[in-house]
Structure 1
Amino acid sequence: MSARDVLEHLRRLGMSGYEAKAYVALVAAGRPVNGYEVAKRSGVPRSTVYETLGKLRARGAAYEVRGSSDATEYLPLPPEALLDRMRREFDGSVEALRDALPAVVAAPEAHLIHNLTDAEAMLDRAGDVVAGAHSDLFISIWPEEMRRLRGAVLEAVGRNVEVSVAWFGDGPDAPGNVYPHRYSAPETVLEDLGYRLIVVVGDRREAVVGGFGGGTAWGIYTADPAVALMAAEYVRQDIVLQVLADRVGADELDRLFATDSALLRLLGRAKGSEHA
């Protein structure tokens, strides 16, 4: 991790830019240093370095000591102790807000739905859905996207969420109850659709649905329970089809799709792509 990354993470945890630079300078010095040296090492302006050090002292991230010349010098709180303290403060704030925020939230006038226009935003929102699931998750996913979500899905399995995955990959490389998509084969699906479809549904109340292909990504997030239920049913029915193909054989299913009048009526002219 670069020095710039360290500073960015400290800012995310509540330090200002100057505070982060001054703290890193104190840690890197390895001995007590005065304000002038902190400014020199960190790039914090001399006009503000003592104010910055005062803020670090106020948050307990630095301490004043008396040097050999009786001048004021500064030592950092060791990084391990600082991170433990930040974690405790962060967790305490999260727990407090968990009770306080719902009390001020107005009832929505309509169920939330919004567009997702890039891969990062879509996978972040899908991760939110996985993290928020309490009872069940229905997921249709390819290995490229599962690599990003695997940790969150593993955590869901660990908290006893029922996870069902329609898996467009080779081998059981996804957490949960995994059903490899062999009918039709993943390469056939990709050729028919032209993109990798992702569906992630949490508790049948919120969902992310989208596609990845050609270097772009697009999709939606919705908290409309009707839409989420339909998305869950899409994944569930696709899984049922994979299980049936395993049980009775793909050839027998092909024969049914080609000869059964009810199936022909429902499928119309979509034969060849209906299993996607």
Structure 2
Amino acid sequence: MDQLLQHLRSLGFTEMESKIMVELAAIGPSSGYEVAKRLGLSRSNVYAALQRLTQQGYLRCGDGEPSRYSVLEPGELSRMISGRVEASLRYVESEMPRGGPDARTFYNVEGERNVLDTLVRRLDGAVQEIVVDVWREEAALLRGELERAEERGVRLLWAIGGEAAAPAALPVWPPLGGGYGAEGAGPGRRFSFVIDRSWCMLGMRQEDGSAQAVVTEHRVLVELLLSHFMQELVLFGLQQDMGAELEERYGPRYRSIAEPYIGGDQ
């Protein structure tokens, strides 16, 4: 129930309007007095909300005394809301001023839901290419969107981490001075996306599901992520073709190469 009310509020209905619509959908045609009594709300406020919802077309008011109100069937209600939202979005897209400077700024996105929503919107708009560098856990969250992109003809380039990750993966840099930030928080799992070589997101997701990311269309970060992705693929290719020789010379996972730069105690 709480989740349904939350979604109705996100569509622009007030808390009272949301409760009234759910109540009418559950109980059926009712008078304003009955609705106010069941919800424990002020009759004057309920009557005002019923009038607004009726004028907007979401409720029907039957003849007779007292007037009895009923909400549209779920399918009809969702089509009405969808049509109005789409009409508003089309208007905003066509009329929103476009004269501002193209600053190519960086901005932060916090919270798993916000990060995923931002990614889904961009993945759905991808035209040519998506470069994905994630762990298996995060890849699973976006499987549907990525599959639909492939079906549209968008090229997907993958680098997947996890238990079966390639041994040529780059090392994790240890923190300077100890600690990764918040007390008790580990380094998490890094992820990055580059879409159409013009937009990118770089972020981190923790075991508890919390996430934060930086998003930009700045060319420098886009190119850095693409270079890092290419480097991982090159290292993976070298491991596949020359793994035995490299391990014989440098040791397992080639730690002797990285230790002078990142320290041996990880």
- CA distance, structure 2, for counterparts of residue 232 and residue 88 of structure 1: 40
Q: Is the 8 A contact 2:60 2:72 kept in 1?
A: yes
Q: For residues 43 and 158 of structure 1, do their structure 2 counterparts lie closer, same or farther at Cα, with a shift above 3 Å needed?
A: farther
Q: Does 1:235 align with 2:229?
A: yes
Partners of 2:23 and 2:35 within 8 A in 1: yes
Deviation track 1:154-195 (CA, whole Å, cap 9, x = no partner) reads 23223222111101146xxxxxxxxx741336xx95697954
Alignment CA distance shift 1:12-1:117 (3 Å): closer
Residue-by-residue CA offset, 1:217-271 (whole Å, 9 max, x unaligned): 554222202211221221123123323433x14224446878xxxxxxx979459
Q: Does the Cα contact within 8 Å between 2:168 and 2:235 map onto a contact in 1? A: no
Residue 220 of structure 2 corresponds to 226
Percent of residue pairs bearing the same amino acid type: 27
String of CA shifts for 1:40-85, please: whole Å, max 9, x gaps: 2234321211110111112211111124xx3211111111210121
Structure 2: segments with no counterpart, 5+ residues? 176-186, 252-256
| Counterpart-to-counterpart distance in 1, 2:194 and 2:54 | 46
Q: Is the 8 A contact 1:35 1:49 kept in 2?
A: yes
Is contact 1:209-1:221 (8 Å) kept?
yes
Q: What amino acid is the match of 2:60? A: Y
Question: 1:221 aligns to what SS in structure 2?
Answer: strand
Does structure 2 retain, via aligned residues, the 8 Å contact 1:142–1:168? Answer: yes
State how many pairs are aligned. 247
Aligned match of 1:184: 168
Tell me the distance in 2 between the aligned counterparts of 1:159 and 1:104: 29
Cα distance in 2 for partners of 1:213, 1:76 equals: 43
**How many Å apart are 1:214 and its aligned residue?**
7.1
* Structure 1 SS opposite 2:47: helix
CA contact (8 A) 1:190 1:196 kept: no
Q: Which amino acid aligns with 2:95?
A: A
Secondary structure of 2:203 counterpart = strand
Instruction: Provide the secondary structure at the position in 1 that maps to 2:192.
Output: strand
Distance in 1 between residues matched to 2:226 and 2:165, nearest whole Å? 16
Q: Gapped runs of 5+ residues in structure 1?
A: 171-179, 259-265
Tell me if structure 1 keeps the 8 A contact 2:188–2:206.
yes
Q: In the alignment, what sits opposite 2:81?
A: 86
Equivalences for 1:3-152 in 2 at 5 Å?
3-30=1-28, 32-67=29-64, 70-101=65-96, 103-108=97-102, 110-116=103-109, 118-152=111-145
Q: TM-score, normalised by structure 1?
A: 0.76
1:57 alignment partner AA: T
Cα RMSD (Å) = 3.2
CA distance change for structure 1 residues 214 and 77 in 2, over 3 Å: closer, same or farther?
A: closer
